[in-house]
Amino acid sequence: MIERIDALRGEGEAAIAAAATTDALEQARIHYLGRRAELPNLLRGVAQLPPEQRGAVGKAANVARKALEQLIEARGAELAGAELERQLAEDRIDVTLPGAPLPPAGGLHLLNATRREIEDVFVGLGYTVAEGPEVERVYYNFDALNHDPAHPARLRTDTFYVADDVVLRTHTSPMQVRAMEQHPPPIFLIVPGRVYRRDSDATHTPQFHQIEGLAVDEDITLSDLKGTLLAFARAIFGDERQVRLRPHFFPFTEPSVEVDVSCFNCKDGLTREGARCPLCKGTGWIEILGAGMVDPNVFGYVREHGYDPERIQGFAFGMGVERIAFLKHGVSDLRLFYDNDLRFLEQF
């Protein structure tokens, strides 16, 4: 009996080792350990043996069964691993095909992206942001900004009118007066928004965007304007930039200046190739905005709101968002901003 068990174990071990697939291994398991196999039957038949044989035979059969079970498990894991590898090796993809596209990224219009960039600079400098009405009273657009009654900007050739005393605002400056009517000093404010002038060519669109700035307190100086715009220019155009003030004339500031930023496209007016820089036209400076100290006459319109021109002073500036975007991104024709061609919009 014992011999038979040993023989079965030996046959079983050989069959398990010889099984080349998980299917063959399963056949071997059924043959040696299955319901009808000899070894389990021997175990089941132990009870019929004489009592003196029962212990030895039962033990031997049990040991043999467990040994075979372990071998099957080990061999099964081995075969399954090998078969998985074979399967995976056959499951080959063309890794050079394009990836599955994500939903395509959209984007903000370059003008609004630029507007945000500028807003964030001034928010960082302590300014709040306000918008004003685009359809505006002549009073705020011209009168309270110290425009002479005969100022040419008031002409219907220059400004859109919707009524005798209502215009499409020609600048974001009307919000200066509105803001001062609503808030006593100090005031640190920027006003982004759409403005309108009757002009249309490669460098003018009848609708464009400005950002107005207003800083008013008891001791704000022209030097503060310079420092503020220097910080702005460096944030937008790079840390190496310088700014230069040139005296100019605007009705609602006195003194008035135009502000140039040192050209970021060249060195001293010459490109790397030694040609005259097309951006600054060889001057080394690019005009970016107009500014000045708020004219006392403007404070005169809001005197009763806490703006005594003898006690209060400050600066204002106004810049064109199109111009900043055009300079920074090399957009050659301002009308491109309003064509909204996706081939343009997708570039930024």
Partner 1 sequence: MRVPLSWLHEYVKPDLDAAALAERLALTGTEVERVVHHGVLSVEGFVIGRVLSAERHPDADRLNVCRVDLGGAEPAQIVCGAPNVAAGQTVAVAQPGAVMPDGTRLRKAKLRGVESAGMILSEPELEIGVERAGIMVLGLDGGKPAPGTPLADVLPLATDVLELEVTPNRPDCLGVYGVAREAHAATGAPLAPAPWSEDVGTGGPVEGAAVAVETDRCKRFMARVFEGVTVGPSPPWLKARLMAAGMRPISNVVDVTNYAMLLTGQPLHAFDLDRVAGGRLVVRDGQAGDELETLDGERRRLDPEMVVICDADGPTSLAGVMGGARSEVHAGTTRVLLESAVWDGPNIQRTSTRLGLRSEASGRYEKGLAPEQAQDALALATRLLVELCGARVAPGTIDVDPPGGRDRTNRTIRLRDARVSGLLGAPVARERSAEILSALGFLVDQADDGLDVTVPAFRRNDVTREADLIEEVARIDGVDKLPATLPASGLAVGRLTPAQRLRRRAADTLAGAGLHEAIGWSWSAPELADRLRLAHDDPRRAAVVVENPMSADHAQMRTTLLGSLLDVARRNVTHGTGDVAIFEAGAVYRPVAGRELPDEPYTVGVLLTGAVRAPSWREPAPPAADFFAAKGVLAALLGALRVAWALEPAGEPFMHPGRAAAIVLGGADGERIGWIGELHPSVAAAWELSGAVAAFELDLDRAIEQVPGPVRYTDYTSFPEVRQDLAVVVPQAVAAAEVVAAVRAAGGPLLARVEVFDVYRGAQVGADEVSLALRLAFRSPERTLTDEEVAERRAAIEAALAEQVGGRIRA
Which residues within the stretch 27-56 sit at the binding site for partner 1 (CB under 8 A)?
A: none
Q: Which CB, 32 or 252, lies closer to partner 1? A: 252
Q: Which CB, 333 or 341, lies closer to partner 1? A: 341
- Considering the rule CB under 8 A, would residue 24 count as an interface residue with partner 1? no
Could you tell me which of 176, 197, 198, 195 has the C-alpha nearest to residue 187?
Answer: 176
Q: Which CB, 24 or 129, lies closer to partner 1? A: 129
Which of 36, 91, 97, 304 is close enough to bind partner 1 by CB under 8 A? Answer: 97
- Considering the rule CB under 8 A, would residue 335 count as an interface residue with partner 1? no
Could you tell me which of 236, 235, 127 has the C-alpha nearest to residue 179?
Answer: 127
- Considering the rule CB under 8 A, would residue 83 count as an interface residue with partner 1? no
The residue behind tokens 């343009």 is 344
Cβ contacts of 8 within 8 Å, gap of 6 or more: 32, 38, 39, 42, 64
- Considering the rule CB under 8 A, would residue 182 count as an interface residue with partner 1? no
Task: State which of positions 226-255 bind partner 1 (CB under 8 A).
Answer: 226-228, 230-231, 243-249, 254-255
Kindly write down the DSSP assignment for every residue of 227-273, as one continuous string.
HHHHHHHHHHH-TT--EEEEEEEETTEEEEEEEEEE-SSSBTTB-TT
Cα–Cα distances (Å) from 89 to 85, 86, 92, 266, in that order, read 6, 5, 6, 58
Peptide bond into 174 cis (omega under 30): no
Which of 6, 83, 85, 165 is close enough to bind partner 1 by CB under 8 A? Answer: 165
Helix (H, G, I), strand (E, B) or coil at 293: strand
Q: In the sheet that 128-129 helps form, which strands lie side by side, from edge to edge? A: 128-129, 187-196, 207-217, 313-320, 285-294, 253-262, 243-250
How big is the site for partner 1, counted in residues (CB under 8 A)?
A: 87
Find the shortest distance in angstroms from Cβ 99 to partner 1.
9
CA angle 67, 68, 70 (to 5 degrees): 65
Find the shortest distance in angstroms from Cβ 274 to partner 1.
19
Find the shortest distance in angstroms from Cβ 242 to partner 1.
9
Q: Which CB, 33 or 230, lies closer to partner 1? A: 230
Tokens of 194: 């759409």
- Considering the rule CB under 8 A, would residue 223 count as an interface residue with partner 1? yes
Q: What is the rounded CA–CA span in Å between residue 159 and residue 70?
A: 95
Find the shortest distance in angstroms from Cβ 176 to partner 1.
16
Task: State which of positions 104-163 bind partner 1 (CB under 8 A).
Answer: 104-109, 111-112, 116, 119, 122-129, 133-137, 148-150, 152, 155-157, 160-163
Which of 168, 191, 277, 312 is close enough to bind partner 1 by CB under 8 A? Answer: 168
Which of 41, 53, 70, 200 is close enough to bind partner 1 by CB under 8 A? Answer: 200
Determine the residue type at 217.
Answer: D
Cβ contacts of 112 within 8 Å, gap of 6 or more: none
**Pairing between β-strand 161-163 and β-strand 166-168 as defined by DSSP bridges:** antiparallel
Q: Which CB, 31 or 137, lies closer to partner 1? A: 137
Q: Which stretch binds partner 1 (CB under 8 A): 29-37, 72-80, 265-273, 333-341?
A: 333-341
Which of 32, 142, 188, 326 is close enough to bind partner 1 by CB under 8 A? Answer: 188
Find the shortest distance in angstroms from Cβ 272 to partner 1.
23
- CB–CB of 259/243 below 8 Å? yes
Tokens of 66: 């467990």
Find the shortest distance in angstroms from Cβ 287 to partner 1.
10
